[in-house]
Structure 1
Amino acid sequence: MSSALFTRRFGHGPRQALAIHCTLAHSGAWRGVGEALADDLTLLCCDLPSHGKSDDWDGQGDIHQRSTDMVRDLLTEPTDIIGHSFGATIGLRIAIENPELVRSLTMIEPVYFAAALADDPARVAAGARNSGGFDAAFDAGDRMEAARIFNTGWGDGSGWEKTPEKLRQYMADRIHYVPASQPFLRDDNAGLLQPGRFARATMPVLLIDGGASGDMVGAISTSIARRLPNVTRKAIDGAGHMAPITHPQAVSSEIRRFLATV
């Protein structure tokens, strides 16, 4: 695949920021947040490999490493990074590996299971009820069923039966991204949990959870927060995992307050 990601911008504010979407979404997922922060930020949003209008991942190498490298190539100066779910884990990785490129980091429900697994594996196991069914469907080649299970666990709560057929197919076509990203998300193949690495991310960090999200999210965020030197935690009342899409005004308000301190 080519080395460039498709990008779009929202807003016209004086501050340059970069937003990274979640698995199975695309850069347009940031429209609500970008428009709410239009006077504050010029928000550069990218489509990850195999998502939106970017080229498909060719299956070679590690998908988290590949995605991180391609996003990192978009950064030429210290930038405010905003990431959601999988995208938040890319932001975290860049903040640790290249702190000189990150002015601030906002993470919305980063799915970095490895941190919680290191601290409280029993709690993670209790929250991973969906993973067995997902694995079985994916291994059987039923990509649509795997997408349904994933969406049920990590979607916006509107229900699979209400999801338009075109969007269901979009998710099913990209569902291989989920197991392909596990070596980083669960097994920490980049070694971020090695002693001293999180301490490199000294920039201000905002960690946002949905107030209605499950225990797994809390476990992950607690594990990440206790490792970071300069972190603020906030919860969005009534929101679940897809808070940037379902509650863009509330998310934007927290980001605006946070950036005013940076």
Structure 2
Amino acid sequence: MTLYARQYPGDPDRPAIGLHCMMGSSALFGPLAEHLDGAVDLYAFDFPGHGRSPAWLPEDGVDLHTFVTRHAARMIERPVDLIGHSFGATVALRIAVGVPEAVRSLTLVEPVLFAAAPTPSREAVQERLAPFEAAGDWDGMLRRFLGDWGAPGEIPTDGPRAERLRMQMAMVLDTNAALMADRAQILREGGLESVDAPVMLISGAESPPIVHEIADALSARLPDVGRATVPGAGHMLPLTHPSQFADLTRMNLERA
């Protein structure tokens, strides 16, 4: 599968890969690149079923998380700075745990590795969508999901964009094995502890409480980690607070 990719040109000696959120695209990193002013040579790609990439066609035995992880890993020719948001941040973390020597730094905005959170919090997140899934109410599910994690507002009910959103919502549900149950074993014993690159965990002050619980769990095990909470920001802080995001990213780049 050929995926759409963008380059935000910068320092050729600092290759970086940006990994976006579910229902997002590689355009998420445009504001960041503008504020970083060439500090890194940033590449990003649209996940299957997102942005300008083709629809997701599951392959035998390969889920979306694994597919995106492998695609990103193939882009790495020398140690890189990985910058990830939400789902993309969990992919970055999976690469860092799997091949620590390939990663120069990790800047992670609200990695939604729900398996790291306490069980009641994890179950509460699943229960937010369960009634809509049981009723087959995709539009209601979208409103709930985007209200929690994205930009609440009017959801189109017909046309190509509406169909695309419903397909993406189905992909969100399909990622449960990766994010809720940690099928990739990112949290395995000794895994996070093997990441010797500097890590920056960024959260929005107004984001769902579970993201802070996840950050607590990850930071307790990562050897070299910084924490930051952006006042007034929610889950989509890379778009709503690009200056603060860039400042924190630059800080972590300098630590590497």
TM-score above 0.5, yes or no = yes
Task: Decide whether the 8 Å contact of 1:17 with 1:43 is kept in 2.
Answer: yes
- The one of 130, 136, 152 equivalent to 2:131 is 136
Distance 1:136 1:104, change over 3 A: same
1:213 matched to 2:207? The reply is yes
2:252 matched residue in structure 1 = 258
Deviation at 1:260, TM superposition (A): 1.4
Amino acid at match of 1:216: I
1:229 matched to 2:232? The reply is no
1:52 matched to 2:14? The reply is no
Unaligned runs of 5+ in 2: none
1:150 matched residue in structure 2 = 145
Q: CA RMSD in A?
A: 2.0
Alignment size in residue pairs: 252
Q: Secondary structure at the match of 1:76?
A: coil
Q: Which runs of structure 2 are paired with 1:178-197 in the superposition (5 Å)? A: 178-197=172-191
1:201 matched to 2:195? The reply is yes
Amino acid at match of 1:161: E
Deviation at 1:5, TM superposition (A): 2.4
Q: In structure 1, what is the Cα distance between the partners aligned to 2:101 and 2:153?
A: 41
Deviation at 1:146, TM superposition (A): 1.8
TM-score normalised to structure 2 length: 0.91
Amino acid at match of 2:119: P
Q: Which runs of structure 2 are paired with 1:1-262 in the superposition (5 Å)? A: 2=1, 4-14=2-12, 15-60=14-59, 61-116=62-117, 120-126=118-124, 128=125, 131-156=126-151, 159-161=152-154, 169-262=163-256
Deviation at 1:137, TM superposition (A): 2.2
Unaligned runs of 5+ in 1: none
Q: In structure 1, what is the Cα distance between the partners aligned to 2:104 and 2:176?
A: 28
Distance 1:78 1:163, change over 3 A: farther
Deviation at 1:132, TM superposition (A): 2.8
Task: Decide whether the 8 Å contact of 1:68 with 1:94 is kept in 2.
Answer: yes
Deviation at 1:167, TM superposition (A): 5.4
Q: 4+ residue stretches of structure 1 with deviation over 6 A?
A: 162-166
